[in-house]
Amino acid sequence: MNDLFQNPLCRPFDFPGSSQHGVLLVHGFTATPGTMLPLGKALAQCGFRVKGILLPGHGTNAEDMELRRWPEWLAAVQAGFDQLVSECGRVSVAGLSMGGTLALLLAQTRPVYRAAVLCAALRVRNRASRAARILWPVMRYHTQAPFSYDGEFLAQYNACYDRTPVRSVAELNALMRHTLHGLKGVRCPLLVVRAGQDETVLPVSAEIIMNRAASTHKRLLTLLNSPHVCTLGPERERLFAEIAHFFGSP
């Protein structure tokens, strides 16, 4: 069992920048802000005001996560957005995996300037996860062997739990359903990023967003050689440049 309390890469981060344009960064399921930190640094160097949040139940331990519900994750994202709005003229958001799902839901409830959704989780590869609501009373945790990546992957930033609370998977499923049903309410410009080597989220997730979101300005970017955590993968520099360009002036 791992405990992430003491890992500095698992903590929220803030970078000062322009009072005109803030960017909120949201990590994924069982992960931590470290997965978004290289992106945050790149955007800060471009002049953006950047805030990377820690979702409730993350960056601690699996027992803590098991107690959390998806509305708490959304509330944390909304609170982070509201804080940036109080400091900046406009606020964009970038989310990875479940963070991308939350970014889409945020865009349904807040005046998001632009949203970059990276490997947003709407359809996942693990079919057994669909039964989490039935399984969690008898199967508390699921353990999976970690994926191995080549030297181009920034593994030290990828701190996450070594086991997943099955009840939390049920919460993720509920979040995905809720987000799917409201996609027509997403009207801000969208950069939808799909990873060609995604081992977690099905590529159809990106197609669903492109087809259902009401945004008139939508762009699909495919990173052919990137894994699910594309912010740490071999095409990360291209990804960071594309996001900065999409967000526009700091």
Q: Is 97 a catalytic residue?
A: yes
Buried b (16+ CB within 10 A) or exposed e, 110-124: bebbbbbbbbbbbeb
Q: Are 144 and 228 in contact (CB under 8 A)?
A: no
Nearest-angstrom CA–CA distance, 48 and 249: 8
Q: Is 217 a catalytic residue?
A: no
Catalytic residue chosen out of the listed positions 198, 205, 215, 226: 198
Q: Which residue type sits at 111?
A: P
Q: Is 73 left (phi over 0), alpha (psi -120 to 50) or beta?
A: alpha
Catalytic residue chosen out of the listed positions 18, 97, 168, 215: 97
Nearest-angstrom CA–CA distance, 65 and 67: 5
Q: Is 198 a catalytic residue?
A: yes
Q: Which residue type sits at 162?
A: D
Tally the residues of the chain.
Answer: 250
Q: Which residues are catalytic?
A: 97, 198, 228
